[in-house]
Amino acid sequence: MAALVQLVHEEAGRFNRRFVVRLVDGASVEAVLYRGDTLCISSQVGCAVGCPFCASGANGLVRPLRLEELCAQVEAVRAVAPGLRRLTLSGVGEPLHCPAAPDFVLWARELGLPTSLTTSGGPIEKLAHWMREVPHNGITLSVHAGTEVTRAKMVPKGPSLERLFGALEAIVPSLSRNRRKKVALAYLLLAGENDADDELDAFAARARGLGVFVHLYAYNPVPTSDAKPVTRERYEAAYARLTSQGLRVRMSSKARIEANGGCGTLIARRGLAARGLG
Ligand code: SF4
């Protein structure tokens, strides 16, 4: 019987090992091993959220992964990289759109592998379930905007800021201290899109009351998008602006901004090469 998943390609950087994972129906997703102990896996083939800066969602959604496929990604990488200590559902796909993801978290927990996730936040009912009930090891909400106009451009099929922050304001204070510490917001800075001072101030005004950490991400360009990173100077200025408004902000790690590190990059590059465009 054919293996449920196969590692068909690998690229190693200074901090990461990136794998193309082929599924039994021929579709491909990506898994990334950070610093040898943290594995980022994919929850869907493609993605319906359509963020314009992301290679993973460039061709829309094909299908969510089944529980067996989620588990098989972990087993396949573990076979070539023992020493795995934690997992994150932050690769290709929106984990809240993957029905098997909560059971996957339980499966991984049994193996002693705590699992975090990154989500655009919708559907809101699913977000509430994950935040209150699923034993995750961290949930990072991709916000990337302070105004609704920019949010609609950056995360086209995600919930509006009003709905997202309305839910967070209702849920976060009701969580235990330990679970509250595991909630964070993400703001990916793109030149000319969401890096203006007014946009950052509007984001800070919404985020401040939640008291959670903010991950301020530098952008890693992908071959399917014209989106551009900000300069290092602008990145540091944005960090200073948000922290001066009372937010606790963390900047991107070197592992995240390694070359070709953008989510979905390997698959996008292979697709372009196959069409003679890469
Ligand atoms: S950034 Fe995440 S939610 Fe947005 S299209 Fe890419 S995989 Fe989907």
Least confident of 138-152, 210-224, 256-270: 256-270
Query: Does residue 42 have its Cβ closer than 6 Å to ligand 1?
Result: no
Range of the domain at 39: 5-274
Amino acid 278: pLDDT: 42
Query: Does residue 49 have its Cβ closer than 6 Å to ligand 1?
Result: yes
For residue 161, the CA-to-ligand 1 centroid distance in Å is: 17
Query: Does residue 222 have its Cβ closer than 6 Å to ligand 1?
Result: no
How long, in residues, is the chain?
278
pTM assigned to the model: 0.93
Residue to mutate (ligand 1; options 54, 92, 117; most atoms within 8 A of CB): 54
Query: Alpha helices of the chain — where are they, by DSSP H?
Result: 67-80, 101-110, 124-132, 148-154, 161-171, 177-180, 197-207, 232-244, 265-274
**Locus of tokens 């106009």:** 149
40 contacts 31 by C-beta, under 8 angstroms: yes
* 128-169 confidence digits (pLDDT tens): 999 999 999 999 999 999 999 999 999 999 999 999 999 999
Instruction: Supply the mean pLDDT for the chain.
Output: 91
Amino acid 265: pLDDT: 64
Is the bond preceding residue 123 a cis peptide, omega within 30 degrees?
Answer: yes
Query: Does residue 186 have its Cβ closer than 6 Å to ligand 1?
Result: no
* 106-135 confidence digits (pLDDT tens): 999 999 999 999 999 999 999 999 999 999
For residue 166, the CA-to-ligand 1 centroid distance in Å is: 22
Query: Does residue 45 have its Cβ closer than 6 Å to ligand 1?
Result: no
* Separation of alpha carbons 1 and 211, rounded Å: 51
Query: Does residue 93 have its Cβ closer than 6 Å to ligand 1?
Result: yes
Query: Does residue 267 have its Cβ closer than 6 Å to ligand 1?
Result: no
CATH number (domain holding residue 162): 3.20.20.70
CA distances from 275 to 2, 19, 25, 269 (A): 27, 21, 20, 10
Counting the structural domains of the chain, the total is 1
Confidence of residue 58 (pLDDT cuts 50, 70, 90): confident
Confidence of residue 268 (pLDDT cuts 50, 70, 90): low
